[in-house]
Amino acid sequence: MSEPSSLPVAFGDVLAAADRLRGVAVETPLLESDALNAMVGGRLLLKAEPLQRTGSFKFRGAYNAISVLRPPAVVAYSSGNHAQGVALAARLLGIPATIVMPDDAPRMKLEGTRALGAEVVTYDRWRESREAIGEAIAARTGAVLIRPYDDPLVIAGQGTLGLEMAEQAARRGAKLDAALVCSSGGGLVAGCAVALIHCLPGIAVYCVEPAGFDDHARSLAAGTRLANEPGAASFCDALLAPTPGEVTFPINRRLLQGGLVVTDAEVAEAIRLAFRHLKLVVEPGGAVALAAALSGKLDTQGRTIGVVLSGGNVDAALFARILAEAS
Amino acid sequence: MSEPSSLPVAFGDVLAAADRLRGVAVETPLLESDALNAMVGGRLLLKAEPLQRTGSFKFRGAYNAISVLRPPAVVAYSSGNHAQGVALAARLLGIPATIVMPDDAPRMKLEGTRALGAEVVTYDRWRESREAIGEAIAARTGAVLIRPYDDPLVIAGQGTLGLEMAEQAARRGAKLDAALVCSSGGGLVAGCAVALIHCLPGIAVYCVEPAGFDDHARSLAAGTRLANEPGAASFCDALLAPTPGEVTFPINRRLLQGGLVVTDAEVAEAIRLAFRHLKLVVEPGGAVALAAALSGKLDTQGRTIGVVLSGGNVDAALFARILAEAS
């Protein structure tokens, strides 16, 4: 699949982001486990983004956007990972940050954001619009809104993860047949698809979502943006966006092979296997791509699959509960 | 401190081991956390060896020894990490392995060793001698005994961890003032000290042990090998050797600055902080060096300290219990 120049993010944007992030973001390792490979009958190369600064990929896009814009102040809305990414990026660049977070966000994410020096404003996830609150603060204070995914600079920053995956796989002589990337608003998978398909034209890139929040899978099949039914629940707190992004969807519609969907039980099992075989702490939203690979959602037999483990910000009590469950 | 040529392991032995391990062992990342740095008022560079094949550093020494010796069969005794390291190394080299393990070893380590194709023979940790059992099997079957630490090839293999730490720190422009390495029989710290002191002549290398198993700390102070008092207990199952090794102690006595001692409670807190800030699963024995740094056992203010996180093979039930404890 070729990369059309009409998309809002081009490969050159990802390269420019990689230059800005060099020496600032961590080049996270691409892990491999003999045990997981044996389980899937193929080869899984796992991008360990819990080892990124702030514990998730979100720092990449936030830093790229803020370092280009250099505004007097920033505001962001986020369930927690974008919050921490924006907070750290702003602090490194000497810019004050206000973050709008749901009051039921994981405690670790709320505390982590405050610990990074940002002001946190909480809201009710089911009754208030985070977008409206964020835009009101921006209008009142003059701060620039750093969107979690509908921003070409943010998408290009997240794309550096896909670029690193392609480079790291090539360095070890592996040829990726497919890549699995989690999706909420679709910024990470859009950026990664731009980078991966440029570097590896034959690769099939899939987004992965939790059941009940499969708006991308259905929208990609329908060719138009569809919303999730209200009332669904998932413990993948990072992946609850109601609909594909306006900026991200045209990219994903053009570049993605399709969308895969996993249950919370499949995600919990993936978290346990990452604990056991990778020694890595992966949060629920960060484990959906691994869950798809391990639960047979695509053919892994004899193939080499890039899998994004996108974050590790999970409260200790929930992680302990997941470990304690029989698999 | 200069490296005396009379020691049983020289820097060239570590370099030779690094050549043999290239492309076979993982060059594990050197992690850093803004939050942990802030806690100690200095800079901690953490060698993430839970990400090594088999989940601990032991694969390095085992593979180095077996790849040089190429015996018809191998036997080893181990509480679990050396067991898995020998089992995988033997399998990769096409050599049958028998492993003698205590019957109370963590289930994950027993199962992991069997899953790697080794034959496992269990014994009673408090009533039988693993050394005697291992040597009897070797005498009966002709297998070569791969000792867990008292073997220059094993020590040189473990030293590749210290070599990587020195190289990785230099690549990011950091100058290590000190290094903290866990110690049971003393093979890892001996090999690391040989490599680190060669690369960084001014560095102070300390071994770290759990309270009740501080035979190295006392032996280093006394200048002679002392044994632990019987009856002590610690959840650091990997660090329960009764006395410093015969081959390792002359190295450690010459090269180490001294020994630090941490309590199980300090280790549990280090495990929780590694979960929270590093997203890494660290087993109790693997967390003693971090525990020493975080509990003020040496001066960290304004200094850069290399810290070895040596393994992550901990049962899910124990890890969940540690997370659930109030800190």
Question: Residue A326: what pLDDT?
Answer: 64
Q: Is B107 on the interface with A (CB under 8 A)?
A: no
Query: A279–B280: do the CB atoms touch at under 8 Å?
Result: yes
According to DSSP, the β-strands at A304-309 and A258-262 are unpaired
* Exposure of A210 in the CB half-sphere (CA atoms within 13 A): 24
pLDDT of residue B105: 85
| CA–CA min distance B166, chain A (Å) | 18
What pLDDT score was predicted for residue A112?
Answer: 86
Chain A residues within an 8 Å CB radius of B271:
none
Nearest C-alpha in B relative to A27: B29
Distance of alpha carbon A210 from alpha carbon A197, whole angstroms: 24
Instruction: State the smallest CA–CA distance between residue A11 and chain B in angstroms.
Output: 28
CA distance A32 to chain B (A): 9
B278 at interface of A, judged by CB pairs closer than 8 A: yes
Sheet of A204-210, strand order: A30-31, A43-48, A304-309, A178-182, A204-210, A258-262
Beta strand residue intervals within chain B, DSSP E: 30-31, 43-48, 74-77, 97-102, 119-123, 144-145, 178-182, 204-210, 258-262, 304-309
User: Chain A residues with CB inside 8 Å of B319's CB?
Assistant: 275, 320, 323
Query: For an interface test with B, which of A37, A279, A282, A309 has the most B Cβ atoms less than 10 Å from its Cβ?
Result: A279
Search chain A and give the residue with CA nearest B49: A279
- Nearest by CB: A29 against B34, B51, B278: B51
Q: Are A281 and B275 within 8 A, CB to CB?
A: yes
Residue B21 in tokens: 């391990």
Q: What is the pLDDT of residues B224-265, one digit of tens each?
A: 999 999 889 999 988 988 899 999 999 999 999 999 999 999
φ and ψ at residue B189, rounded to 5 degrees: -70, -35
Sheet holding B97-102, edge to edge: B119-123, B97-102, B74-77, B144-145
Under a CB-based contact definition with an 8 Å cutoff, are residues A59 and A84 in contact?
A: yes
Model ipTM over 0.90: yes
Do the Cβ atoms of B35 and A272 come within 8 Å?
no
Helix (H) or strand (E) holding B132, with range, is: helix B130-141
Q: Is any Cβ of chain B less than 8 angstroms from the Cβ of A326?
A: no
Helix/strand/coil for B47: strand
Amino acid B4: pLDDT: 52
Is the pLDDT confidence value at B114 over 50? yes
Q: Please state, in angstroms and rounded to a whole number, the distance separating the CA atoms of residues A198 and A85.
A: 26
Q: What are phi and psi of A287, to 5 degrees?
A: -105, 0
Q: How far is B281 from chain A (nearest CA, A)?
A: 5
CATH number of A11-56+152-324, picked from 3.40.50.1100, 3.40.50.2000, 3.40.50.300, 3.40.718.10: 3.40.50.1100
- Among residues A55, A48, A45, the alpha carbon closest in space to that of A28 is found at A48
Per mean pLDDT, which range of A138-147, B18-27, B169-178 is the poorest? A138-147
A55 CB within 8 Å of a chain B CB: yes
Q: Are A101 and A83 in contact (CB under 8 A)?
A: yes
Q: Contacts of residue B109 in chain A, CB cutoff 8 Å? A: none
Nearest CA in chain A to B53: A33
Identify the DSSP state of A228: P
| Domain spans in chain A, listed from the N-terminal domain onward | 11-56+152-324, 58-145
pLDDT, residue B1, reads 47
Angle between helix B248-255 and B215-222 (nearest 10): 70
User: Distance from A288 to chain B by nearest Cα, in Å?
Assistant: 17
Residue in chain B closest to A26 (alpha carbons) equals B31
Q: How far is CA A160 from CA A45, A152, B53, B71, in A?
A: 16, 13, 27, 46
Beta bridge partners of B44: B305
| DSSP classification of residue B8 | S
> Per the structure block, which two tokens stand in for B288?
């003693």
| Count of positions (residues) in chain B | 327
Beta carbons of A324 and B319 less than 8 Å apart:
no
What pLDDT digit, counting tens, does each position of B256-307 carry?
A: 999 999 999 999 999 999 999 999 999 999 999 999 999 999 999 999 999 9
The rounded distance, in Å, linking the Cα atoms of B211 and B261 is 6
At A270, list the tokens.
């993936």
Reference B61, options B167, B185, B204, B166; nearest CA is B185
pLDDT category of residue B5 using cuts at 50, 70 and 90: low
pLDDT tens sequence across B62-88: 999 999 999 999 999 887 899 999 999
Query: Would you call A175 an interface residue with chain B, using a CB distance cutoff of 8 Å?
Result: no
For residue B115, the chain A residues in CB contact (below 8 A) are 35
Strand runs labelled E in chain A: 30-31, 43-48, 74-77, 97-102, 119-123, 144-145, 178-182, 204-210, 258-262, 304-309
Pick from B53, B108, B320: which is nearest to A34 by CB?
B53
* Pairing label, strands A30-31, A43-48: antiparallel
Residue in chain B lying closest to A48 (CA): B279
Is B327's pLDDT higher than 60?
no
B11-56+153-324 and B58-145, same CATH topology? yes
Angle B210-B216-B220 from CA coordinates, rounded to 5°: 140
Contact A115 B35 (CB under 8 A): yes
What residues in A contact B320, CB-CB < 8 Å? 319-321, 323-324
Q: Which residues from chain B sit within 8 angstroms of residue A34, using beta carbons?
A: 53, 88
Residues in chain A closer than 8 A to B53 (CB atoms): 34
Burial class of residue B285, CB neighbours in 10 A (0-12, 13-18, 19+): buried
Residues of chain A whose pLDDT is less than 50? 1, 3
**What span, in angstroms and rounded, lies between the C-alpha atoms of A267 and A284?**
6
The Cα-based distances of A7 to A18, A193, A234, B88 in angstroms read 19, 12, 32, 47
Query: Helix %, strand %, coil % for chain A, to 5?
Result: 50, 15, 35
Nearest-by-CA chain B residue for A115:
B35
Q: What is the pLDDT of residues B131-165, one digit of tens each?
A: 888 888 888 888 999 999 999 999 999 999 999 99
Q: Which of B279, B310, B314, B323 to mutate to test the interface with A (most CBs of A within 10 A)?
A: B279
Q: CB–CB of B74/B86 below 8 Å?
A: yes
Q: Which residue of B has its CA nearest to A116?
A: B35
Are B279 and A316 inside 8 Å of each other by CB?
Answer: no
Query: Rounded to a whole number, what is the distance in Å from the CA of B27 to chain A's nearest CA?
Result: 10
Q: What is the pLDDT of residue B207?
A: 98
Nearest CB to A281 within list B51, B53, B279: B279
Asked if B279 is an interface residue toward chain A (Cβ–Cβ < 8 A), one would say yes
- Please list the residues that pair with A97 across neighbouring strands: A74
User: Can you give the pLDDT at residue A1?
Assistant: 47
> What residues of B are in contact with residue A88 (Cβ under 8 Å)?
34
B212 vs B232: CA distance, rounded Å: 5
- Show the 3-state SS of B11-36: HHHHHHHHHHHCCCCCCCCEECCHHH
Find the angle CA(A150)-CA(A155)-CA(A161) to the nearest 5 degrees.
Answer: 150
pLDDT the model gives residue A22:
97
- Nearest Cα neighbor of A11 from A158, A195, A152 is A195
> Residue B272 has which token pair?
């929780």
Question: Rounded CA gap, B266 and B258, in Å?
Answer: 19
Query: Which of B51, B276, B323 is opposite residue A279, by nearest beta carbon?
Result: B51
Q: What is the DSSP letter of B181?
A: E
Extract the tokens encoding B197. Answer: 């002191």
CATH number of B11-56+153-324: 3.40.50.1100
Three-class SS state of A175: coil
b/e sequence A240-258, b meaning 16+ C-beta within 10 Å: bbeebbebbbbbbbbbbbe
Nearest CA-CA partner of B191 in B236, B149, B241: B149
**Residue B70 forms contact with A (CB below 8 Å):** no
CA distances from A221 to A161, A218, A226, A228, B45 (A): 26, 5, 10, 14, 47
CB–CB contacts below 8 A, A to B: 68
Q: Coil, strand, or helix at residue A135?
A: helix
Please indicate whether, in this complex, the C-beta atoms of B278 and A51 are within 8 angstroms of each other: yes
A31 touching chain B per CB within 8 A: yes
Q: Are A209 and A182 in contact (CB under 8 A)?
A: yes
The answer to whether residues B136 and B83 touch, using CB atoms and an 8 Å cutoff, is no
Q: Does A276 touch chain B (CB under 8 A)?
A: yes
Taking contacts as CB-CB distances below 8 angstroms, the residues of chain A near B276 are 108, 316
Percent of chain B with pLDDT over 70: 98
C-beta of residue A182 within 8 angstroms of C-beta of residue A188: yes
pLDDT for B2 beyond 80:
no
CATH 1.10.10.10 fits B58-145, yes or no: no
Calpha distance A285→A184 (Å, rounded) = 9
Please check whether residue A146 is in contact with residue A134, taking contact to mean a CB–CB distance below 8 angstroms.
no
Whole-number mean pLDDT of chain B?
A: 94
